[in-house]
Structure 1
């Protein structure tokens, strides 16, 4: 089976996610674009028509499949027509949305634990002000300030700075000298009704320095060449913006002089060409480049090292094998799928770069526990909070083989 055929086969699985992620209601035209982006189907494939003969009009096989699945989901009670929005609009039903259960204010429940960490079902602000542990790293993918919130909700771009300050303030107070705050955010947020990008990121960087004393240490692009085309409105419809293929990863520190980052912990293998150059004795003669800014001398680069220092660009797809396994298990258990999780390798890189074994890593917006899993695999202690109980339960599937794993009764939720 070709990858394109696989993509078509995945469409049914993607449909409820599409409606849920986009706020519940979609026109068919919006649905086709969203499904195509999720499954990697070219835009022109939706317009390919099957010729039924001289007396019958052709039709799109893909669109016909989607409409058939809409009817199937309607019969299951998971989808319904949204007549108020107009012809061709459908919306997800409460049963299809698989309602999320928020934590009770002021109540902290133990979700699951391992020998290295603990996952809590709670509001982060009910946990971190009283956490008595020195934190080496807070690594989190915060809810993006989308104009149409996902199922778990999010602050708006104008609320985001104050919301983030409240979230991070108690964590910063427990941050070790030289500890880090590492945030995966979105630069694809726009002013309402405008192709102008929001300046919420710039305002956040300044607020973190002025209000929490956190210094900006790095801005690393996470390049995701499999990212769905977007922003749909400003790139595909008005055709003004370019499709976005990266997201920012910001790193902040409370004491730059004592910053615990070490690039030697994340060295990459040298290329065979470079190794041959080194083992051949390095540079053979003196050479000057860039008007003398760069100079080589005989023997330069002639000493073999443990590896090369990584560039500050992470090139990773958003999907990974571990996340796909968690997704399939959640679907099998009737749990809602979390559609906004970072790849495991991204979290692993920053945990190994910014911390040492045995130190504590936290995530106040844990989602499906990617930060926790990366910390577990790297031998770091971890503490996470997640506001939605179904996500805590879904993330526990990723830790079943972890030493000391224990799932607690408070998470026996009804999907």
Structure 2
């Protein structure tokens, strides 16, 4: 069974329980329901074939159904009646504890006409994907000494872990495909005010081991960042207060990269508009021993906008973040603790891709990358390993064409499914 068929089977099984009376079914009743839902004849469902060395005969179709049951049990979506053999039901709604996808677990959580969000680990989500990826855009968990609720890799092994995690994905990039990593400089050597060099080691490893060339490392200046690091800047007074993070942009072929700054031009200042209207500069001057020369008429040509500088400046406050926190509260679920503003992936997707390109976020979190891609007409694939974050993110996509949510996901949280 291919990946898409297996995912459809998970959804069909979960739907059968969700729509059953009291969300409980015997295995025989489940088989009957699924035959009708999936258009499977009784002959196919009951056909027995030899399995294993012993050659015992079993229905392969029913074995697939039972495999789906076990997978959904692992996800915390189904539970088996301990007293009655062959009786399964939907579990109670997920609580505050975070539930993570195990190895090999792949479930279509929700989708639109343009994209799919998977409850799965990042590389498991790619199983069965038969087309190249134009852009991998993500914010991986930072190597923090004090992990957050969603988990953070050990700083000592972070570079090796991330390079090995990204390697299969990078191989799926189209020629000229781009990898974008949003990272933090606020990672310190334990017990010291010295900042970790993990970013530098990571960039070198991505070049040496995966053949990725760096286009640029762009500071994301955030004037609304809270004062930090608390200990080294506010108590010991050694460090300065942090005001930025980094966006590293790398590609497997700089000459084939689709980056185009014309897609992200900014509005001209009023002064520059006046200069263009006047026909440009009226003076002549030379600066830096001739490195830069100003001539009459310079900047007089009408243009659509100005090319952005190689940094972005924006606060982290975002209407989508506020909405997602409200959704999490209404569902009785914990909100994601590190959501970047949707404006950031929107800028990067516009700059680095064309409409119709495929964008992938392997650490999707609140699925802000997918939300930006959806609004910009790019196709998208998201992978998130935490069930509660995936459920909350689904609420942001309800208004888009073709929205569908797995009944298994709909049963996560405190609202009735």
From 329, 348, 369, give the equivalent of 1:350. Answer: 348
Question: Is 1:318 aligned with 2:316?
Answer: yes
Contact 1:184/1:250, CA 8 A, preserved across alignment: yes
- Counterpart Cα distance in 1 of 2:128 and 2:225: 38
Give aligned pairs, total: 321
Q: What is residue 413 of structure 1 aligned with on the other side?
A: 412
Aligned-residue offset at 1:274: 0.4
Contact 2:220/2:245, CA 8 A, preserved across alignment: yes
Aligned-residue offset at 1:414: 4.2
Aligned ranges 1:54-69 → 2 under 5 Å: none
Q: How does the TM-score come out when normalised to structure 1? A: 0.75
SS where residue 258 of structure 1 aligns? coil
Q: What is residue 303 of structure 2 aligned with on the other side?
A: 305
Aligned-residue offset at 1:328: 1.1
Aligned ranges 1:51-200 → 2 under 5 Å: 98-128=96-126, 130-200=128-198
Aligned-residue offset at 1:129: 5.4
Aligned-residue offset at 1:130: 4.2
Contact 1:184/1:249, CA 8 A, preserved across alignment: yes
Q: What is residue 266 of structure 1 aligned with on the other side?
A: 264
Q: What is residue 207 of structure 2 aligned with on the other side?
A: 209
- Counterpart Cα distance in 2 of 1:98 and 1:202: 37
How big is each residue's C-alpha offset from its partner over 1:203-241, in whole Å with a ceiling of 9 and x where there is no partner? 100110011111111111001111111111111121111
How big is each residue's C-alpha offset from its partner over 1:298-334, in whole Å with a ceiling of 9 and x where there is no partner? 2111110011000111111112111111111111210
- Counterpart Cα distance in 1 of 2:190 and 2:128: 38
Q: What is residue 283 of structure 1 aligned with on the other side?
A: 281
How big is each residue's C-alpha offset from its partner over 1:161-180, in whole Å with a ceiling of 9 and x where there is no partner? 11111221111111011111
How big is each residue's C-alpha offset from its partner over 1:125-169, in whole Å with a ceiling of 9 and x where there is no partner? 212354222111001011111111111101022211111112211
Q: What is residue 375 of structure 2 aligned with on the other side?
A: 377
- Counterpart Cα distance in 2 of 1:130 and 1:220: 33
- Counterpart Cα distance in 2 of 1:232 and 1:296: 47
How big is each residue's C-alpha offset from its partner over 1:229-257, in whole Å with a ceiling of 9 and x where there is no partner? 11111111211111101001100000111
- Counterpart Cα distance in 2 of 1:128 and 1:261: 24
- Counterpart Cα distance in 2 of 1:298 and 1:414: 66
Q: What is residue 330 of structure 2 aligned with on the other side?
A: 332
Aligned-residue offset at 1:271: 1.1
SS where residue 328 of structure 1 aligns? helix
Q: Against the structure 1 CA distance between its residues 326 and 348, is the aligned structure 2 distance closer, same or farther, given a 3 Å change threshold? A: same
SS where residue 123 of structure 2 aligns? helix
Moved more, 366-375 or 312-321: 312-321
Moved more, 112-121 or 396-405: 396-405
- Counterpart Cα distance in 2 of 1:167 and 1:320: 29
SS where residue 124 of structure 1 aligns? coil
Contact 1:221/1:314, CA 8 A, preserved across alignment: yes
Q: Give the RMSD, CA atoms, in angstroms.
A: 1.5
From 272, 288, 293, give the equivalent of 1:295. Answer: 293
Show structure 1 runs of 5+ residues with no match.
1-96
Moved more, 108-117 or 162-171: 162-171
Aligned ranges 1:351-366 → 2 under 5 Å: 351-366=349-364
Contact 1:368/1:391, CA 8 A, preserved across alignment: yes
Q: What is residue 12 of structure 1 aligned with on the other side?
A: none
- Counterpart Cα distance in 2 of 1:157 and 1:132: 34
Q: How does the TM-score come out when normalised to structure 2? A: 0.75
Q: What is residue 255 of structure 2 aligned with on the other side?
A: 257
Q: What is residue 41 of structure 1 aligned with on the other side?
A: none
Moved more, 200-209 or 163-172: 163-172
Show structure 2 runs of 5+ residues with no match.
1-94
Q: Please list every run of at least 4 consecutive aligned residues from structure 1 whose deviation after the TM superposition is greater than 2 angstroms.
A: 127-131
Contact 2:331/2:413, CA 8 A, preserved across alignment: no
- Counterpart Cα distance in 1 of 2:313 and 2:406: 37
